Structure 1
Amino acid sequence: MSEWGGTGEGLPGEIASALSGHGLILRGGFVFGEDEARPQGLSGAPATAVLLVGQAGATHWPHFLRWRQSRSREIADPLDSWSREAIGAVAEFFGARAVLPSDRPYLPFQQWAMRAEGLKPSPLGILMHPDYGLWHAYRGALLFDVEVAIEAPRNPIHLCDLCVGKPCLRSCPVDAHSEAGFAYGDCLRHVRSPSGNACLTGGCLDRNACPHGQGHRYPAELQALHMAAFAGAAEEF
């Protein structure tokens, strides 16, 4: 049951304010078409609207670290658990269903994100943002049973189209990213090997080579957390 007593018109602003208390931001949204596949909303009926929740740079990181200090060290995926708790609390307050990219069956988060913010994928597959570059993420979404008024995306210039040198395709020691796609196996073997320690502890070299959004670059320990999850390595977070 929702605790929110406002009107639908002011809903996005109130949600953005609530998310900011967790270092998260509202990342656009839209109303589903009647003829498209729609996940269940809080009522169990197909949802009417979706609002994307995420981060810009590492705005969430200090909030996550404070949460982590008060939780068991045995949590298998602490960042995912924190996201579920933080976004779930906001969803409960506003009468929405919270979903995460890791939920099964998988929901089309990247398609939702492109539709909500007008972004396009970079050569690395990560959506390129005009301000944050590759240093942003979508941590979850709020599914509503009612229509939510939110501004349409501004269709920003795709910065990758203006990038001539493409350093993101020339910095990996094993050429994991190319025009042909992502060589997952080659990347994983390298990161797990002694020669991949720089990637494991400091983040993907291709991602770090992108010149856009450098002021929002993740700190090394956050990049290490993501790389450890990718490599299946044990990290003390």
Structure 2
Amino acid sequence: MANFLTSSIGKKFIQSVSGAFLIIFLLLHGTINFFSVIDSLHGNFGKVAADNMPYTHGDGWFQLGCDFMSSPVITIMVPVLALGFLIHIGYGIWLSVQNFQRRGGVKRYEVSSKAKNDSWSAKNMFVLGIVILGFLFFHLTHFWAKMQLQEFTGGEAENPYFLLLKTFGNVWVVVGYILWFVAIWLHLNHGFWSMFQTIGWNNKKWLVRLKVISTIVATLIIILFVATAVNAYIEANYVTASAQWTEAIIANI
């Protein structure tokens, strides 16, 4: 088993499995974030029941989604998710360093013979990974640290709607996030089909289909996140008229 984990095939397999796990998480996370857009469409953005209890009738969809993300099942999964990230990042760096040593340059980990017509993202998976990792730290400090981490440490989580307004109310933050999402799209667009190729599903007929599916999945994930950011910017600057939101945003600029 140890030999498999350290072999070239084993490392690529683990990288692919951990990547699949993260794709599932991104779909779930993006869907819950998109609930805030649905709230806006129904005039329920910022709607939180007075009793401040989870799964309360009267909460907006996004609040209900955040309650779900704070449930015991998800809480237990947080260390597993963190481990998945660390494994994916660690093996990605390991594979990239080995490729650097073998070829004299930082290139993507191989899943087949090198092709001359590889896409830009295929050749720069390591670079994209570094960019994604940097903005991930920013994302965690602006959302996770102020919500889930507070609950873990016995503190009080901030209102999720307020965090959206406070973070995405700044146009430059939105621009930075969109650029980050573009990097994620490039990473996912190659990584999704490459994952199947790594585990042996690489006949030419299915490879074409998997590349199409890869583009669809990557695009869906990014639409969910980008729509959330843009909607929050619009809410913060043009829609939300509540004095408590306006005063809170000004106080935290």
TM-score norm. by structure 1 comes to 0.26
* Structure with max Cα Rg: 2
TM-score norm. by structure 2 comes to 0.25
Name the structure with the higher strand share.
1
Name the structure with the higher helix share.
2
